Structure formats: structure tokens, C-alpha cells
Amino acid sequence: MAVYGIDLGTTYSCISKYENGEVKIIADEEGGSDLLASAVFVKDDGNELIIGEGAKEEGVLAPERLFQFFKRWIGKDPEKEPDYKHYIVDGKEYTPVELSSLVLKRIKEYAKKAGEEVTDVIITCPAYFDYAQRDATKKAGELAGLNVLAVINEPTAAAISYSNDKYQESQNVLVYDLGGGTFDVTLLKIEIDSTSNEKKIDVIATDGDAFLGGADWDNEMYKLLIEKFREQFDVAEEEIDEELKEMLRSATEKLKQKLTMQTTVTYKTKYDGEKIQLEISREEFDERTKGLLGKTEQLLNSMMKKAEEVGIRETDIDVVIEVGGSTRMPQVQNFLKERFGDEKVQFYDPDKAVARGAAIVAYTKAYEKNMKALKDRIERGEKIKTDVHGNVVITTKEGKVEILDVVTQKDEKGNIVLPENTQKMVISDVAPRTFGVIVQDSSIQRYYSDNLIKKDTKSPCKVEKTYYTPEDSDKISDIAVRVTESVSYDDENDLMPEGEGNNRSYVCPDSSLELKVRGMMLIPLEPGLPRGSEVDVMIELTDLGELHVVATLRKTKTTREITINFSQISDEEMRKMKNRVGKTGVTAE
């Protein structure tokens, strides 16, 4: 069964698969494009939604029914975000997860019409997404009826696509990804070992902004149009008709795109008997938006500072990849070429590079899994069959016939011969947050986070530490091991007090303060255990971004373990959303 890669973008989304040695982008035959606008328009009855360019067209006359840029809010907690965007129409609220799932549902449907049965997928997200946002992205896929195998970083996917297409050699690759709604910049080291047939992708450093993208340039274009209109007709902004404002707003993206090829653009229309002609030059647009470009430079500088801390300097960068449709703007290309040099900057398939890379990762991971399954069966002495194409055909214990996407060869006796070195891909990342254990120190009687995995630590990683029980077991019946997630490890309210790191730290009694943390495990205490009994804690951040915690009371060998779910979404919310999404029809127009 094929595994697909999906770039779930803020403004546009794309699906692809890897077959016969190349990536195939799956187009929407009905919509006439291989990119789907991540836009949702709610029709008057609310039972059918328009997804894609058709949604944006309908939104010109009814903007209150058009939803866009919801990816910016996916996985965010409305109660903690004062500017949280609520998507409400006709008294009904659609969550960012729900809206994202509708885009994925539309992708799944048009892929099916193109002959693709999409089930197993890898979805991409910005590198700076925390685990709640990644989990919400995965849940959006589940609501759309997809089996999400992993959520991987967009710049990692783009770099893999580039290295697969252009270079089969080790390189330091900087990915400058300016999309329609988000920006991130990431430095990766790609190492290719031809002997072992292994490709290692190591994320060195990353930074980004969920509220910086092409839409912000569009907004500045809109403001320029308003100013030009006011100059031409000598009116105040509040006197401009709302319908005309929406017409101007809907024109901004295309005008911006034209300025990538032309030095001036003119917006012409006739409204209320008046001929409107508004001219904007590239020079004045660039001047107007230089602050936005400057923000990307600040984030680039921040990312490079992190890279320098681990010994990678700007001169060590071999190639700079421009990803995202907004990198077509000449101001972006000129900025990068001036900083890194013409020869290093590569304008590489900005709209589809992420989806292409996701497909390559999906295929490679599926291939590794299938090869392992095949080797295990051969070692068990099972008889292996192949079809006419050489694909391995297996029968499960349940009697189900499966075709492994692994092409094999046979010797003269008809036995399957496995290659000595099968292709492998190892992806390492950095932790986007800090994780620690909530403990207390007996000398000051306060709670704090002993942060074991710190932000930007290489992952996957594992840390082990010993703590101690706070009381004799005749005073407490259980101890609680609580794990917390911090935005950063320099938050004075969360950190272990200075100098306490080498002292004895105690886990919390079950009767301790109610601490709002991500994970908790209760470990029962047997009679006769003295205060200060050892509790061994292991925290592991896996390659799929899961946080696995194991706590063991050393004397009694009592063990508890948990894989922490960072979701902001309850099972009940998922059930309700799944019911709504299942009943909602999606169409291109």
C-alpha cells in the first residue's frame, strides 16, 4: 500500500507520492490545479462547504463566510491566547483542527478521483511547531479519515527533496521557507554514506514565526491600494464602500505576484460609475514591506546564533534553498543573494518542494518497515511469494494478503536474495520545548521543574535521573511523578533554584498541590519504605516527537510508564468534530 506525503499549508496544500524512482504530484482534476487553496467557504445552509480557490472567489461577496489562515491557530489554547481567532458563522464555530481536516478531506477526495486510495500519510508542519500543534495536525488528518504515520518538519522535507533531486553528497543546507502565512528558517546537515546506503538528516538549528508570511505582504498591498484610492478620489477611508474594499483586498495577491515579473502594476476597475486606476511600483511596495523582510532577517540571525553555538558558521553553509511561494518576491531573492552569494542560493520548486520531500520520507520509511518485515519472515523460515513485478506477497496470521512495496531478486534456485545494504534515512531534530520533572526541595519547601531535556537539545534523546521519596511510606500511600513542558528553560518561575541541581530532589506526594502539568504517574508505596528511597526517572524524546517517561521505585521494582499526549483536544471534542466532519460535504465550487 502506498504512503503519501501531504504539505498542509497555511495558504496552499499539496499531496504527492513516490513511485518508480520519482515523485508524482497528484492534481485536482476538478479544480484544475496541483495546489489546493487552504480556504473554506460555508454555504448558506451550512451543510456543504467549498474548499479551495472556489472558496476564495465566493468570499469576495461574503467575506464573513470565508475562513483562511487557520493553520496559524491550530493546537493553540483559546484561553491562553488573547488574540485567538474564532471562526464562527451562523452561530456555529469551526475549530482550526476541524477546518484543516476539511482541507485534508477534500485532498483525499480529489486524489481518489485521480485513482489514488489515500490512507497512510505523512503530513508536514513548520519546524517551530510545538507538540500540541503537531498533535492537532495529526488529529486533523484522523478526522479526515487518514492514518497519519508521522508529522515531520517542512524545511526537513524540502531539504530531502532538494538533495534527492540535485545532489547526492553531504552538505550543510539552509532552508528559508516563506509561505503564505508562516515563516521558518532551518539549518540542516545532510550526510550521505554511499557504503551503508544511509542518508542522515540532522537539524542543527531552527526558528520561525507563525504570524509572518505572504499574507502580511498582501495586507500591505491592500493598504497601499486604499491610500492610492483616497488620493485619487479625495475621500476618507471610512467613506469607502465595504464592497469596494473587498474587491481591493481580493486583488492584492495577484498584484503582488505580478510585481515579481514587472516593475509596476495597475489595478483597474469600474465601480459605481467611476473608473478606478491605481498604480503601484515595486520600489514603493518593497519600501512599504521592508520591515516584514527585516523580521525574517532577525529570525535568520537568531537561528544562526544557535548554529554558531554548536560550531556551524555562516561560511560553512553550502546551499540556501528558497521554499514557499513568497520567496518569488525579488526583495527576498536579492536579500538572500546579497547575504550568501548568488552561487549558493537556489530557487527550488518553492510550492511543491515540501510535499515532494514528504513523499520521499514516506516511501523510505515504508520501505525500511517492509524490508524489516521481510527479513523477519525469512528468518522464521516462512515461504515468501512474489507477484509478476517482483513485489513480495505475504499472508498475515489473520489470513489477509498484503503486498509489500519491496522489489526483490531471486537466485538460480528461486530463493529471494536481499540486498546487502538497503536504503535508510535517519532524521534527527531539536526539541522545540523544554521538558522536566516537577520536584520539591526539602530545604525551601517549594515546587519547581528540574528540566532534563532543554529546548534545542538534539533529538531523539534520552535522559535518566534519580529522585527520592519525600516521606516515609507510613505517612503517604503514593508518590506522583509529574512531567511538565516549558516554553523555555530560562523561565525563572519554572527553573530549579540556582545551586540546587546537585542537591537531593524529592518527587511529589500524591497529596501535593494540584499542578497543571502534562503528565502524571502515581506509584504506590509499600509499607516500611523510608523517606529518601530512590526513584529512577527516564525521559525519552522519540524520533516521532513523542515523550516517553518511565519511573521506577528502585527498592520494590515498582514501575510506571506513560507516553505523554500533548493534545489540547479531549476525546469528547474529537468525537463531536468527527461526527460534524463526517456529515459535511466538501466541493471545489
Nearest CA to 499 out of 544, 441, 419, 552 is that of: 441
Q: Is 156 helix (H, G, I), strand (E, B) or coil?
A: helix
Q: What pLDDT score was predicted for residue 31?
A: 67
Structure-block grid coordinates of residue 575: 468525537
Q: What pLDDT score was predicted for residue 576?
A: 83
The length of the chain in residues reads 589
Q: What pLDDT score was predicted for residue 499?
A: 43
pLDDT band for position 512 (50/70/90)?
A: very low
pLDDT band for position 471 (50/70/90)?
A: confident
pLDDT band for position 26 (50/70/90)?
A: very high
Q: What pLDDT score was predicted for residue 580?
A: 80
Q: What pLDDT score was predicted for residue 140?
A: 95
Q: What pLDDT score was predicted for residue 569?
A: 76
pLDDT band for position 498 (50/70/90)?
A: very low
- Among 62-66, 257-261, 384-388, 471-475, the least confident range: 384-388
Q: Where in the chain is the domain with CATH 3.90.640.10?
A: 214-289
The stretch 172-198 carries a mean pLDDT of 88
State the pairing for strand pair 3-7/12-19.
antiparallel
Q: What pLDDT score was predicted for residue 404?
A: 67
Which of the 8 DSSP states describes residue 263? S
- pLDDT at residue 148 above 70? yes
- pLDDT at residue 377 above 70? yes
Q: What pLDDT score was predicted for residue 573?
A: 82
Q: What pLDDT score was predicted for residue 500?
A: 42
- pLDDT at residue 420 above 60? no
pLDDT band for position 116 (50/70/90)?
A: very high
- pLDDT at residue 309 above 80? yes
The stretch 342-368 carries a mean pLDDT of 89
- pLDDT at residue 397 above 70? no
Q: What pLDDT score was predicted for residue 516?
A: 44
Domain 433-556 - what CATH class? mainly beta
- pLDDT at residue 388 above 80? no
Q: Where in the chain is the domain with CATH 2.60.34.10?
A: 433-556
pLDDT band for position 162 (50/70/90)?
A: confident
**Prediction pTM value:** 0.81
Q: What pLDDT score was predicted for residue 545?
A: 67
- Which tens digit of pLDDT belongs to each residue from 318-350? 999 999 999 999 999 999 999 999 999 998 888
Q: What pLDDT score was predicted for residue 338?
A: 97
- pLDDT at residue 152 above 50? yes
- Which tens digit of pLDDT belongs to each residue from 221-271? 999 999 999 998 999 999 899 889 989 999 999 999 999 999 999 999 888
- pLDDT at residue 98 above 90? yes
- Among 134-148, 414-428, 519-533, the least confident range: 414-428
Alpha carbon distance 378, 366 (integer Å): 18
> 60-63: long-range contacts (C-beta < 8 A, 24 or more apart)?
60/246, 60/247, 60/250, 61/243, 61/246, 63/246, 63/249
8 Å CB contact between 436 and 515: no
pLDDT band for position 544 (50/70/90)?
A: low
8 Å CB contact between 55 and 37: yes
Q: What pLDDT score was predicted for residue 142?
A: 93
What CATH code is assigned to 214-289? 3.90.640.10
Q: What is the 3-state secondary structure (H, E, C) of 355-400?
A: HHHHHHHHHHHHHHHHHHHHHHHHHCCCCCEECCCCEEEEECCCCC
User: Given the C-alpha cell 495546489, which residue does it identify?
Assistant: 35
- pLDDT at residue 429 above 90? no
Q: What pLDDT score was predicted for residue 458?
A: 84
Alpha carbon distance 468, 551 (integer Å): 11
Query: How many CA atoms, within 13 angstroms, populate the side-chain half-sphere of residue 272?
Result: 7
Q: From residue 327, how far is each of 143, 211, 256 by CA, in Å? A: 32, 16, 12
Q: What pLDDT score was predicted for residue 493?
A: 43
Q: What pLDDT score was predicted for residue 53?
A: 92
